Amino acid sequence: MFKVLVSDKLEKEGLDILTADKNFQVDCKFGIPAAELKTVIKDYDALIVRSGTQVTAEILENANKLKVIGRAGVGLDNVDLSAATKKGVVAMNTPAGNTTSTAEHTISLIMALSRNIPQAVASLKSGKWERSKFTGIELYGKTLGIIGLGRIGTTVARMAQAFGTVTIGHDPYLSAEIAAKNGIKLVELEEIYKTADYITVHIPKTDETTNMISEKQIALMKKTARLINCARGGIIDEQALVKALQEKRIAGAALDVYDKEPPDFNSPLFKLDNCITTPHLGASTSEAQVNVAIEIAHAVKDALSGRGIRNAANFPSLSPEAYKAIEPYLDLADKIGKFAGQLIQGRIKEVKITYSGAIAKEKVSAVTMALTKGLLSPILGETVNTINAMNMMKDRGVNVQEILSSLEGEYVNSIALDITTDKEPFSLLGTLSSNKQPRIVKVNNVYVEAIPLGHMLFINNNDKPGIVGAIGTILAQAKINIAGITLGRENQEGVAVSVVNVDSEIPENVISSLRQTKNILFVKAIKV
């Protein structure tokens, strides 16, 4: 049974998805104090949060069972992603659930800026009739510059076009063809700053995007320009914005997000007539709350049940269909990694993984992570897992190359592993049998047909008569049953490879006896 802790309020529709499954126990502890969360988190497989819970490194230290953190919302600012990755915890969000609500709020702020609606309402309610003071401007014919053309940015464009705006945008990951289909002209950031009447940002907050709109960028803008931020606080430099608004360098701004939330209410932002502020309402519609609850519930359930991982910040997102396609290769990669990790000599310097055949057409990042986890497991044990394996490789200065080959190889599908160490190189070739079972078909330059399963013996020997009989005799004397044996050699009279599957663990004294056998050069007990 999987235990799920929900620490922030989640709509009933989302909770029902989890509680309807008898394999899930759901505990709702809304607003749980950090000290208590740190204590109880050790018992849970998944944690579902909104923006209220701060998932810190200190809390994650105790999360020894935790596999998934689900954020019912877009941002993961409140989750220490680095700590989650090191702990091997998948962190997921719900980018689609509040697309419409955030886009609509952006348009609402644009309209409010254009027609001075908040100021006019406040004036009228104070008993004044000041029509001329609040003369606005029309959206029709104006240029809207959108920075970030993901789901929300593209939806904002579509909505704004209904008002007759010209939409331009910047997104380094979107093709000009796709942008054009959505009525958006792709331009450089500088052109947006120089020509747009309205500039709205829809990008995540990262080291690169923090304060990306500051004094230098604002200096390029028209005096009639208006800035809108419904994405993340800190993308627009608040001090630079205050100065620009005070000096009437731009016409206005509308903010739904801030550097710190709740913000400092003594900030001039909340006293300027040309700045509209709302308390992070982008996703605050009843429909959005239900949508993100349903989306994160399904995502957490699928991740724990092994049916794919979606919208993860620290793991390749896989739909159930994509996961099903690569699932057999995850097992193959893990076994290849474990097999190699127990045979390599020396310190790993570089790992090259080559995918050939149909697997090369799939999203293989998750397969690479599985292989590196398997490779490090014999060395690092339980401290390494699929989520943190690549980080551990990087921390150890190991370069991991991922190669997709379109060339037809010896096998319909294969994963080739080439490892460079400070001693001698090592290589493996793995494939799937007709019933999708893992097979190791080549070790260094020797072809074999090994089944990587359970307890095994890997033996290098001179290719002389009697070796198989000697191995069988020693194992029989130790009452160890042979489940299978495969042989291979590079050439006649050379060094051969024997891979023996056995039904039980092989004691060290048996390994010692095998090593002392004539013509046996190398023996290693392996478990995969």
Residues that are catalytic:
232, 261, 280
Report which secondary-structure segment, H or E, holds 303.
helix 286-304
* Cβ-based burial of 438 (10 A; exposed 0-12, middle 13-18, buried ≥19): buried
Q: Is the Cβ–Cβ distance between 347 and 421 less than 8 Å?
A: yes
Please tell me the distance from the alpha carbon of residue 233 to that of residue 490, in angstroms, as a whole number: 63
Please tell me the distance from the alpha carbon of residue 169 to that of residue 189, in angstroms, as a whole number: 8
The edge-to-edge listing of strands for the beta sheet with 446-450 is: 399-405, 348-357, 413-421, 426-432, 438-443, 446-450
Amino acid (one-letter) located at 449 = E
Pick from 229, 92, 227, 204: nearest CA to 151: 204
Please tell me the distance from the alpha carbon of residue 384 to that of residue 375, in angstroms, as a whole number: 10
Crossing angle of helices 286-304 and 99-115, in 10° steps, is 150
Please tell me the distance from the alpha carbon of residue 151 to that of residue 7, in angstroms, as a whole number: 27
Distances (CA, A) of 438 to 325, 393, 412, 499: 15, 24, 13, 15
DSSP-derived 3-state class of residue 267: coil
What are 277's two structure tokens? Answer: 């502020």
Please tell me the distance from the alpha carbon of residue 297 to that of residue 310, in angstroms, as a whole number: 12
* Cβ-based burial of 215 (10 A; exposed 0-12, middle 13-18, buried ≥19): middle
Please tell me the distance from the alpha carbon of residue 265 to that of residue 260, in angstroms, as a whole number: 11
Crossing angle of helices 99-115 and 151-161, in 10° steps, is 50
Q: Report the 10 Å Cβ neighbour count for 15.
A: 17
Compute CA 251 distance to the chain's CA centroid, rounded to the nearest angstrom. 39
What are 479's two structure tokens? Answer: 């009452």
Q: Is the Cβ–Cβ distance between 370 and 421 less than 8 Å?
A: no
Please tell me the distance from the alpha carbon of residue 372 to that of residue 353, in angstroms, as a whole number: 10
The edge-to-edge listing of strands for the beta sheet with 143-147 is: 184-186, 166-170, 143-147, 198-201, 226-229, 252-255, 275-277
Distances (CA, A) of 28 to 45, 298, 344, 506: 14, 17, 48, 48
Please tell me the distance from the alpha carbon of residue 24 to that of residue 18, in angstroms, as a whole number: 6
